Every structure is written in structure tokens, then in C-alpha cells.
Structure 1
Amino acid sequence: MTPVFGHGHLRLYLLSLLDESPKHGYELIQALSDRFGGTYSPSAGTIYPRLAKLEEEGLVTKTADGRKTVYAITDAGRAELDARRGELDDIEAELSDSVRRLADEVRSGVDQAMKSLKADLASAAREARTSAKSGASGGVGGPSGSAGSPTSGAGWTMSGGSVNGASDARASRADSAEALRDADAAITDFRQRLRLDLRKAATREGISPELVTRLKQRLNDVTAEVRDELARASAR
């Protein structure tokens, strides 16, 4: 979601940035990107013609600083800025809404990835329990005449290996349940800590789209890795 400046709003916002301190063109582009959390990053072809127009109108001046050109606001520029403070407040409100919506999109993406991962882990745990039950029931023989020596006075037989198999199956189920609880706790902790960090960043320096893209990619990579491991375990 990219905020769109209304007629004359970018021009006004450039004056407000220069009112804070003189800046060269790249610093203005970076400042705009930072203010909007990376959701708006104007090109040089957008910024420099407006700076030239502001200079032509006597609202800014430019001076050479080595290979850079530094722009500064003039008294006339401050007078226009003061006369349009109400419009500037509206722009700032739009900026806050833009960053807030971006933070919501990030949280939504993280939530969906975490839900998907938790569902995969729960499914794997169910498959492990089903497999363990099948192994345990397979170790119990039928009526006498089945493999293994009959127990005294009983019509069912059970070999020592089957008893050990049932015990191993119970241990496997317990380990799987414990692993699922650990994974669920780790996912919840990750989600809570990351949401807190994102909210803090959204209210301070903002969040860049590049960061969101990398976050989503890393979450997709982790999800794919876990799914592959679960698939290999199920095939064994």
C-alpha cells in the first residue's frame, strides 16, 4: 500500500523536512522513505524537479557541498509552511495510518504462517499416535495357536518382543506429545516477541517492505523445512 500525495502535498512535505535541517536530495528521499516506513520511496525524477520549482519560487536555496547539492528552506518557505500547518497535520495523520496498516499486514502474514506450522505439527502428532496404536495392537496375538507360547490359563498369547514393542510405542507417543508442546510454546513465544518488536518499530522508525518480504520468505523457508522433515519421518 503506497500513500499518494494530494496536489501540492509532496511539495509541502519537502518544505517541512527542510525546515528541520538542510539536506541534499538523497537525504530527502531517504527521509521520506523512513517517515513512511518504506511504503513510499520517491525517485530522483520526482524529487529534484519539485526542489527546482521550490528554488524558483524562492522557497528554498541550494549550495554546493563538494559533489553534493544541499537544499535549505528560506524565510518565504517557512512562511508558506506556517500558513499550511493544517494541511501538514493531515499528511502526518495519513502517514501514521499508512504505517499502521503495514504493521497489520505483517502481523497477519506472521499469524497465517504460525497457524500453518502449528497445524502441520498437530497433524504429525496425530499420525504418530495412530502409527503407535497400530504397532501396539499388532503385537498382541489371537487365540492360542497364534505365534508365541500361550500364557497359563489364558486364551491369548503375547511374545516378549510384543510387550517391548508396546512399551516403545507408549514411549514414542509420550515423546511426540512432549515435542509438540515444546514446538507450540516456541511458536507462541516467537509470535509474541516479534509482534511486540514490530509494533515498537511501527511507531518509531517504521517498517520497510523489504523487511516484510524477507520475513515472509524466512517463514516460508522454515515451514517448508519442517514439512519436509515430517514427510521424511512419515515415510520411514
Structure 2
Amino acid sequence: MSPVFSHGDLRLYILSLLDEAPRHGYDLMQALTERTGGTYSPSAGTIYPRLAKLEEEGLVTKTVDGRKTVYEITDAGRTEVAARSGDLQGIQAGLADSVRLIADEVRGSVRDAMRSLRADLAAASREEREQAQPSLVDDARSRSREQLSRADAALTEFRGRVRSELRAHVARGGELREAGVDEIEAALRQASDAVARAMRV
């Protein structure tokens, strides 16, 4: 069972994709990856057994087209998709909620990390201004290198924490869709701007 879909949801989602158009197995795997924002990339070992089961139930048929096997939904399959339209809407709403949640979590982590980094950079800048003297240029450069290492360590720690949160979210069944990644990228651009402003303090 995938970390994104609850019990039975993947089966229904595959049926809904076939209701849109006939597809071969690889096409289904690509569609699932795209629809889940890249958080779930099913393997052939996950997709084909479910397709075989749907075929046994009379919900899909398959035809061989060259080297590809194309799956097509049957009338019985369409009837099930129509009867469970409410379940499908629930699945889609859950995926959208998960994207918003992970985006909010990332924005919060970015804000916290940037507040800490701005404070560290501001303190380092004040310390350098207080201690710097024309005759001690080399010492000032040495201190700057030390502070650079400190800032780099903070950024590395932040990156690791956010990656861990993202992976944990997906492992718990969360979804990360394209819109959510767009929000994450926007938050990171804001964070980059904040770093630039902090260095000017």
C-alpha cells in the first residue's frame, strides 16, 4: 500500500484515471506521480497487480499494442467510478489539504530559521564593527571567515531539517503537489532576500 493512498483509494484512483482515457502501465505510473506532486512514484510491482485484479473483476480490459499493453475501463468500471464520485472528491480534497499543510510547515520553518540567522548575522556584524581597526584587517577577515562558517552551518542544519520534515510528511501519507512546491519555492526566495538584507545590517 502506498504512503499516499488509504486502503482502496489507489484502486479507485487508477479506475478514475482509466475513466479519463485508456492508458498503459507506464502511463499510469507517470500520471500518479504527476497527480501527487511527485510525492508518490509507484513501481510496476504496485500497479500491475492492481490492474490484473481490476481485470479479474471485469472493471478493465487490456489489449496488446506492439510492446505495450493498454488498459481500458469497462462499463462496469465506469459505473463504479460514478457511484464512488464522492469518495474520489474526498481523495482529491485530502491531497490538496496535504499540500497546503506542508507548504505552511515549510514557510514556518523558513521564518524561524531566518530569524535566527538574521540575529546571528547582525550580532556578528556589530561585533566586527566594534572590534575592527585599520591595522587589524587580517583579523577582521579571519573573524568574517569564522562567521561565514557559522552561517553555512546554520543553513546546512536548516536544509537538513526541512528535508527531514518533507520526507516525514510524505511517509505519514501526506502529499506534495506542484502548487505546494511552488509555495515552498516562493518562501525560499523570500528567505534568500532576508539573508541579503541581514548581511547589510
- Which of 177, 181, 189 in structure 2 is aligned with 1:207? 181
What value does the CA root-mean-square deviation take over the aligned residues?
3.3
Which residue is 2:18 aligned to?
Answer: 18
Runs of 4+ in 1 over 3 A off after TM superposition: 202-208
In 1, Cα distance between equivalents of 2:54 and 2:180 = 28
Which residue is 1:32 aligned to?
Answer: 32
Aligned length: 148
In 1, Cα distance between equivalents of 2:106 and 2:33 = 18
- The answer for unaligned runs of 5 or more in structure 2 is 135-175
1:3 partnered with 2:22: no
In 1, Cα distance between equivalents of 2:180 and 2:66 = 31
CA displacement at 1:204 relative to structure 2 = 5.2
Residue deviations 1:5-39 (CA, integer Å, cap 9, x gap): 12x22111111111111111122122122222222
- TM-score, normalised to structure 1's length? 0.53
Q: After the TM superposition, which of the residue ranges 112-121 and 48-57 deviates more from structure 2?
A: 112-121
1:125 maps to a residue whose letter is S
1:74 maps to a residue whose letter is T
In 1, Cα distance between equivalents of 2:94 and 2:60 = 25
Change in CA separation of 1:127 and 1:101 when aligned onto 2, cut-off 3 Å:
same
1:76-225 correspondence runs (5 A): 76-132=76-132, 135=133, 207=181
CA displacement at 1:80 relative to structure 2 = 0.8
Mark the structure with the bigger radius of gyration. Answer: 1
In 2, Cα distance between equivalents of 1:29 and 1:40 = 9
Contact kept in structure 2, 1:18 and 1:71, CA below 8 Å: yes
CA displacement at 1:101 relative to structure 2 = 2.1
1:59 maps to a residue whose letter is L
Change in CA separation of 1:38 and 1:109 when aligned onto 2, cut-off 3 Å:
farther
Which residue is 1:47 aligned to?
Answer: 47
1:207 maps to a residue whose letter is V
In 2, Cα distance between equivalents of 1:23 and 1:62 = 10
2:181 maps to a residue whose letter is I
Structure with bigger RCO (C-alpha 8 Å, 6+ apart): 2
- TM-score, normalised to structure 2's length? 0.61
In 1, Cα distance between equivalents of 2:66 and 2:26 = 14
- The answer for unaligned runs of 5 or more in structure 1 is 136-164, 166-201, 224-229, 231-236
In 2, Cα distance between equivalents of 1:58 and 1:13 = 16
